[in-house]
Amino acid sequence: MECQHVSYQYPRQTRGLSDLTGVFPPEQVTTIIGPNGAGKSTLLQLLARRLPAQAGQVVLNEQPLNQLSTRQLAQQVAMVTQHHQLYDELTVREVVATGRLPYHGLLQAVPANEVTPYLDMAGLTSLADELIQDLSGGQQQRAWLAAALAQEPVVLLLDEPTTYLDVHYQQQLMTQLRQLAAKGLTVIQVLHDINQAFRVSDWLWLLQDGQLVASGTPDDLRDAKLLGRTFATPIEIVTVPHLGPYIVQLPD
């Protein structure tokens, strides 16, 4: 997936993205980082075609995103968000089944055997007939992720997937994302925790004020000056035993 001169301006606001060009390497985990208001979530919306690029284009496998039908898009790009997604009760099985909708007619039922593998993979088989509202935050997250994976996408987008998870689940999720990338999925996520981003990613996009400041491997971007300038705060990189480099924000 790549961006070619992509711009997007919110109406009546200065916020937006201007002239972004860069790639998201296939079959790797890319994390978009940057200060609040840098346009991270906006970029993710554009990659999911939830917002239209006003200039330039997002390209997936050499095909512009806006040339795909809604259904074709749903077969290639899946997204997991943190926003509440339900108005009424649905069971875990029904939630995961929604991921199969891009492959069926609107009046066709989703066959059970297309859902079970994803329930198994998420470890939710025993909870399949529970209401998703009754599950813990971590379990709910797993169910929505399972639904996204049921779309069999080429690209998986995640908007701050660790927000409501405790440290244990965060770790588990990041391990799972790495495994998925190893199996051929392109993972693109927005994370707030810079250290987590540097630790789990193969590739990073650093955004500031709607512009791409830098992109590269974590080693390329682990630069105290660059990060300090982008986040407008003094930053030092220290080495923690058994952990490696760690980015620390210094008091002003």
In whole angstroms, the minimum distance from the beta carbon of 169 to another protein comes to 21
Q: Name residue, tokens 């007939």.
A: 129
15 SS3 class: coil
Taking the C-alpha atoms of residue 224 and residue 217, their distance in angstroms, rounded to an integer, is 15
Which stretch in 23-31, 79-87, 162-170, 229-237 sits in contact with another protein by CB under 8 A? 79-87
- Kindly state whether residue 75 participates in binding another protein, applying the rule CB under 8 A: yes
Among the listed ranges 1-9, 68-76, 194-202, 215-223, the one in contact with another protein (CB under 8 A) is 68-76
Which residues, in sequence order, are CB contacts of 106 under 8 Å at separation 6+? none
Site membership for another protein, residue 99 (CB under 8 A): yes
Supply 8's token pair. Answer: 């997007």
Nearer CB in complex with another protein: 45/162: 45
Phi-psi map region of 167: left, alpha, beta (phi>0 left; psi -120 to 50 alpha): alpha
CA distances from 147 to 95, 121, 159, 173, 232 (A): 6, 11, 15, 15, 38
**Token pair for 220:** 């390329």
Contacts (Cβ under 8 Å, ≥6 apart) of 191: 31, 32, 33, 160, 161, 162, 197
Q: Which of residues 172-231 bind another protein (CB under 8 A)?
A: none
Binding flag, residue 57, another protein (CB under 8 A): no
Does residue 134 touch another protein according to CB under 8 A? no
Query: What is the spatial distance between Cα 246 and Cα 67, in angstroms, rounded to a whole number?
Result: 42
11 binds another protein (CB under 8 A): no
- Contact region for another protein (CB under 8 A) — 15-23, 71-79, 161-169, 214-222? 71-79
Bridge partners (DSSP) listed for residue 6: 20
Q: Which of 73, 146, 173, 190 binds another protein (CB under 8 A)?
A: 73
The distance of closest approach from Cβ of residue 194 to another protein in the complex, given in angstroms and rounded to an integer, is 27
**Closest CB to another protein among residues 18, 85:** 85
Nearest alpha carbon to residue 39 among 14, 12, 62: 14
Q: Does 161 bind another protein (CB under 8 A)?
A: no
Q: Is 15 in the site for another protein (CB under 8 A)?
A: no
Binding window for another protein (CB under 8 A); candidates: 103-111, 200-208, 226-234, 242-250: 103-111
Among 34-42, 80-88, 208-216, 236-244, the segment contacting another protein (CB under 8 A): 80-88
Q: What is the number of alpha carbons within 13 Å of residue 225 lying toward its C-beta? A: 1
From 13, 36, 70, 113, residue interacting with another protein (rule: CB under 8 A): 70
Task: For residues 245 and 230, give the distance between their C-alpha atoms in angstroms, rounded to a whole number.
Answer: 19
Binding interface with another protein (CB under 8 A):
48, 50, 69-75, 78-79, 81, 83-90, 94, 98-99, 101-102, 106-107, 109, 147-148, 151
